[in-house]
Chains A and B, each alone.
Chain A
């Protein structure tokens, strides 16, 4: 498998095949096919950009753990091209946006698709440049900071355009920040998983009190679970306390009926309580099982949360969504698996 993936062009072919499959599914003659496309696109953008952002952030602060997963994290860069392609597939779907019939200066189809595609491509270009630079060099740091600037802009646009404008005129100024922090959170979770996949189980139990790359990643995940909770709470509390009808409606639609109510609670559990409690004991921070549990919890939390965001506004074709998500995950695994370059 690995040998096959190492061959030139195989990964590109896999991505193309995956993209074709997702594209076909988005044309499936079933209501909600394009809704599921939007959701898997959002998940793909969050995790792929997050992985690269994790590597870039680690590069910026000379984090030691970056060394062991940098290659894997940066091998997901081509997936950003796939994301740009999938974004173009959503064009026929834009009529589902409430503003589509009364386009304004900012919310109009051509500009909408244009700027989002542009920033995905910019993210791809800056990520490629970053990936090409030797680790640790001053040059790499400068390129990492460029990527991070584009990353913030791209994630904010994703939040404000692709998600928030579905509920126009509902507004939350924090949503952009919330998205890029969550994406980075997912990036760290993916880093931990990549680390475990590549390095395997550590041969000896780590000495108590010593630090390993895995425990550094766990600390980051633990910290980000708290930060995520803080941002979630800041957003929720402002809306709850202000109690303005046009704001509260967003939350009310998501917590007043089953199964969305349960899914909202699940997202909260998966993104905060599970990683926080699992990684609380020091020993768990370097325990492969605990870390992978937390990481999987975070990644599935991101997917479920995206579902909660979209579901009241868009119809979603669940079987199609399941296949698309599996497809995206397989592409991540393939991209990361391609680089066995260590002894």
Chain B
């Protein structure tokens, strides 16, 4: 039953969603548009957890590695003792590695979000379609076999 259902408030919307799922509409053909995040809807549609978290982990790990590699290798490339500290002084380098862990982690999470959420979307920017503050359920056509 492909189509579009529009609700004025959240509870009616959730009820509609539950009915649709109970009626046997495959959850992966249901799309919703809401004015704010409705975690209950995700649970009804039993969506998995967002893959953004892998981007966070990857970014953070590469930041740590980059931080240590950068500080250690540049220090070794011109080994000059400053202030009586060893050439490879791990305690201060931890600070740089920590900062880069956060920086790379945050930027990669943001990039991952843009990629997974399909943003920025030039088509959506140009389009005038707008659902205001309404809750919308869209059921997509079954793909032809």
Known contacts A207-B43, A209-B39; A243 and B91 CB within 8 A of each other:
no
Pairs A–B under 8 Å by Cβ, sample size 17: A207-B43, A208-B49, A209-B39, A209-B42, A209-B43, A209-B49, A233-B91, A233-B94, A236-B91, A237-B91, A237-B92, A240-B91, A241-B85, A241-B91, A241-B92, A243-B84, A282-B49
- Beta-carbon nearest neighbor of B85 in chain A: A241
Give A9 to B94 CA distance when docked, in angstroms. Answer: 53
A227 to nearest B CB, angstroms?
14
Chain B: interface residue total (CB-CB under 8 A): 9
Residues in chain A near residue B43, CB distance under 8 A = 207, 209
Q: Which residues of B contact A (CB under 8 A)?
A: 39, 42-43, 49, 84-85, 91-92, 94
Residues in chain B near residue A208, CB distance under 8 A = 49
Seed contacts A233-B94, A241-B85, A282-B49; 12 additional CB < 8 Å A-B pairs: A207-B43, A208-B49, A209-B39, A209-B42, A209-B43, A209-B49, A233-B91, A236-B91, A237-B91, A237-B92, A241-B91, A241-B92
Residues in chain A near residue B84, CB distance under 8 A = 243
B2 to nearest A CB, angstroms?
29
Residues in chain A near residue B92, CB distance under 8 A = 237, 241
Residues in chain B near residue A236, CB distance under 8 A = 91
B79 to nearest A CB, angstroms?
20
Give A241 to B85 CA distance when docked, in angstroms. Answer: 8
Residues in chain A near residue B42, CB distance under 8 A = 209
B23 to nearest A CB, angstroms?
23
Give A241 to B49 CA distance when docked, in angstroms. Answer: 44
Residues in chain B near residue A237, CB distance under 8 A = 91-92
Interface string of A235-274 (1 = CB under 8 A from B): 0110011010000000000000000000000000000000
Q: Which of A193-236 contact B (CB under 8 A)?
A: 207-209, 233, 236
A251 to nearest B CB, angstroms?
11
A78 to nearest B CB, angstroms?
43
Give A233 to B92 CA distance when docked, in angstroms. Answer: 10
Q: Which of A280-335 contact B (CB under 8 A)?
A: 282
- Beta-carbon nearest neighbor of A207 in chain B: B43
Give A243 to B49 CA distance when docked, in angstroms. Answer: 48
Give A19 to B92 CA distance when docked, in angstroms. Answer: 46
Give A237 to B93 CA distance when docked, in angstroms. Answer: 11
B61 to nearest A CB, angstroms?
12
A9 to nearest B CB, angstroms?
50
Give A243 to B84 CA distance when docked, in angstroms. Answer: 10
Residues in chain A near residue B94, CB distance under 8 A = 233
Residues in chain B near residue A240, CB distance under 8 A = 91
Give A228 to B119 CA distance when docked, in angstroms. Answer: 39
B85 to nearest A CB, angstroms?
8
Give A121 to B84 CA distance when docked, in angstroms. Answer: 48
- Beta-carbon nearest neighbor of A240 in chain B: B91
Q: Which 7 A-B pairs have the closest CB atoms?
A: A237-B91, A240-B91, A208-B49, A209-B49, A243-B84, A236-B91, A209-B39
B57 to nearest A CB, angstroms?
9
- Beta-carbon nearest neighbor of B57 in chain A: A280
A38 to nearest B CB, angstroms?
31
Give A233 to B97 CA distance when docked, in angstroms. Answer: 14
- Beta-carbon nearest neighbor of B46 in chain A: A208
- Beta-carbon nearest neighbor of B84 in chain A: A243
Residues in chain A near residue B49, CB distance under 8 A = 208-209, 282
Interface string of A121-163 (1 = CB under 8 A from B): 0000000000000000000000000000000000000000000
Residues in chain B near residue A209, CB distance under 8 A = 39, 42-43, 49
Residues in chain B near residue A233, CB distance under 8 A = 91, 94
B27 to nearest A CB, angstroms?
15
Give A117 to B38 CA distance when docked, in angstroms. Answer: 54
Residues in chain B near residue A241, CB distance under 8 A = 85, 91-92
Give A236 to B89 CA distance when docked, in angstroms. Answer: 13
A238 to nearest B CB, angstroms?
10
Give A208 to B53 CA distance when docked, in angstroms. Answer: 14
Residues in chain A near residue B91, CB distance under 8 A = 233, 236-237, 240-241
Give A208 to B46 CA distance when docked, in angstroms. Answer: 10
